[in-house]
Amino acid sequence: MASRGVLWISPTSLQTKYLFAESLGVFGGSLAFTALGLLLGLEGTPWALALLAALPYLTLPLDLLAGLLLDRLDRRTLLLVGVWLRAGILGFLALLPKEPLLLLPVAFLFQAVLALDLPAWHALLVHLAKGRLEREGGRLQAAQLLGDSLGDLLAPPLLLLAKSLPFALGGLLLLAEGLLLRGLPAYPPPQEARREGMGLRALLAGVGFLLADARLLPLTLYALALGFFSILGLALLPLLALGGGVPPALYGLYPLGLSFGGFLGSLLAGSVGPGLGIWGGHGLKLLGLCALFLPFPLGLLGPLLVGAGGALGGVHLRAFRQRLAPEALLGRVQAGAIALFSAGSLLGALLAGVLGGLGAQLPLGLAILGLGLLFLLALGPLHPWRLEALRREGERP
């Protein structure tokens, strides 16, 4: 059965083997990048650490290009090509001498190819999980966060065993992901997307839709502000944790709390409606940022609640974009959202760095105030009744 020129897949759960495969791939990438950050830190190269932290934001134009490709070519094929390319890049990293000037350009190449991964999955889910986007999107996000957590935990001991080990193992895990994902159904783009040009207008069409569609605009602005204030509060998390009395050897519990909280929030997302998902997530995030003022170990509640709230609300916000985007713009809307919200997060991080000179708690306090004001301003346009009505409107026949 065809729908809008695209092979239609019957609504069903995303197969467990595909979730396992994605978790393996994220595990591999997390192993490599956690190990790379630790390696650069042990060598005392702050400039290299700063560049490593900036790499995800430097790929913003490539995020837009990835969306355009996903609306022109088979999305399953692009996902697989991206996975196998990243496997090869990590294998190359394992062989390179462990010098920052050699490692960082290759790490950037990995991030550039990674720009295909999330928007490809978000586009595929529209047809793999038709009508069950919150549940299946939550399961996918939970699998990704589980892999990320394992990478955070295991990368340091593996690096201490052998500098090349986390990169080599990461490449093998990505190779395994690609082999397991070969059974995904084909997902060719619709005819109307193929007839478009390849110019700047086509490249920015996804972002333009997010900002022009009257139904999505309040959600887009809300998500942009939410990301800005969240990063403003979390950018100086190491300083906040150390100021709260955490022993340096136990600081890893804070980023682990973010990942594990996100895992729990992702699993919960499919069990609640959009109103509770978005506003419950907002409340958890606000409580979590407040808890960061608490001393250790009570302060560990902070990242756990922030991670849970961010994942819970994020699944529901993304589901609206998946439901309301036209088929011909599906890839570009998903990639455009990633680029747009990453830009907002970059601004939040930069502002936190500027204000942090006056004290690490100042950006956190402003973030809490901002989230409180955002709740008051956005609750009207995004009332739970309106969200539910919009969700029903966006259900694809």
Of 286, 279, 269, the closest CA to residue 368 belongs to 286
Stated pTM of the model: 0.76
> Is the same domain home to 240 and 315?
yes
> Is the same domain home to 172 and 209?
no
> Is the same domain home to 26 and 142?
yes
> Is the same domain home to 237 and 307?
yes
Give per-10-residue mean pLDDT for the chain (397 aa). Answer: 33 73 93 82 62 72 82 88 95 88 88 86 80 82 88 83 93 95 83 66 82 90 92 81 77 80 88 90 95 90 93 89 82 84 83 81 93 92 87 67
> Is the same domain home to 163 and 219?
no
H helices of 162-236, where? 165-180, 191-194, 200-203, 205-212, 217-234
In DSSP notation, 48-113 reads HHHHHHHHHHHTHHHHHHHHHHHTTS-HHHHHHHHHHHHHHHHHHHHHS-S-HHHHHHHHHHHHHH
Helix (H, G, I), strand (E, B) or coil at 7: strand
| Residue 190 resides in a domain | no
Report the CATH number that the domain containing residue 84 is assigned in CATH: 1.20.1250.20
> Is the same domain home to 277 and 228?
yes
Q: Do 110 and 90 meet the contact criterion of CB atoms below 8 Å apart? A: yes
User: How many Å is the maximal CA-CA distance in the chain?
Assistant: 61
Distances (CA, A) of 225 to 69, 146, 362, 377: 28, 27, 18, 11
In DSSP notation, 341-368 reads HHHHHHHHHHHHHHHGGG-THHHHHHHH
| Residue 189 resides in a domain | no
Tokens describing residue 323:
């439901």
> Is the same domain home to 95 and 40?
yes
> Is the same domain home to 351 and 221?
yes
Which domain, by its residues, includes 29? 14-181
| Residue 359 resides in a domain | yes
